[in-house]
């Protein structure tokens, strides 16, 4: 049975998460097989000095691991408020909960893409220079690797389109409105709080 990949403490997993890469893309960047990346991540193989050196330009831009965020305090409705009597209020609360969850997932995915794009934009100049230096003498077995790698880096660092910024603002506005509605329903109905 295959072992699970370690969480964010694994260097390759953290690198892939920071730069938004899957195992195949990281393998392409390193010039190794995806199965080797998987084996290193699962602890079946050790990270070799050659692979560590190839990761150097990316590692320079990888922040230290973050400490887990504390759990938010649970909101409790004020005492003395009865449970809602109207079915419409309960139904609307359920609708809001479903919409909050859906919009929250969309917003989180968009924000993750934006963070990855920012990571690449910040790192791209150093990666270009490192790639140019590493491939200043062409490899006779793969003479096009240097040019391919530069093109691959440029594609990874493409900024998000402007419509994504518009979508972000619209999602935030809709989430704020739904959150306010849920807060009002929780306050007037006395039911359990709903959060995103």
Q: What is the pLDDT of residues 32-42, one digit of tens each?
A: 999 999 999 99
- Please report which confidence band the pLDDT of residue 2 belongs to, taking 50, 70 and 90 as the band edges: very low
Assign 171 to helix, strand or coil. helix
Helix (H) or strand (E) run with residue 144 in it: none
Q: Between 10 and 135, name the one with better pLDDT.
A: 10
Q: Predicted confidence band at 104 (pLDDT cuts at 50, 70, 90)?
A: very high
Q: With cut-offs at 50, 70 and 90, classify the pLDDT of residue 71.
A: low
To the question of pTM greater than 0.85 for the whole model, the response is: no
| Residue 34, pLDDT score | 93
Task: Supply the pLDDT for residue 160.
Answer: 86
- pLDDT above 80 for 136: no
């Amino acid at each position: 049975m295959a072992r699970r990949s370690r969480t964010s403490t694994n260097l390759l997993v953290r690198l892939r998460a920071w730069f938004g890469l899957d195992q195949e893309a990281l393998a392409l960047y390193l010039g190794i097989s995806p199965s080797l990346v998987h084996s290193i991540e699962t602890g079946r193989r050790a990270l070799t000095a050659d692979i560590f050196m190839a990761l150097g330009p990316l590692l320079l831009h990888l922040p230290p691991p973050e400490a887990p965020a504390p759990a938010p305090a649970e909101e409790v409705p004020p005492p003395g408020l009865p449970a809602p009597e109207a079915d419409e209020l309960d139904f609307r609360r359920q609708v809001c909960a479903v919409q909050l969850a859906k919009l929250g997932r969309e917003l989180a995915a968009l924000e993750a893409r934006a963070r990855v794009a920012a990571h690449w934009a910040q790192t791209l100049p150093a990666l270009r220079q490192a790639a140019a230096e590493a491939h200043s003498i062409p490899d006779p077995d793969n003479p096009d690797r240097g040019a391919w790698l530069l093109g691959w880096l440029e594609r990874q660092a493409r900024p998000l389109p402007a419509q994504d910024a518009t979508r972000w603002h619209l999602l935030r506005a809709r989430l704020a409105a739904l959150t306010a509605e849920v807060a009002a329903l929780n306050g007037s109905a006395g039911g359990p709080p709903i959060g995103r």
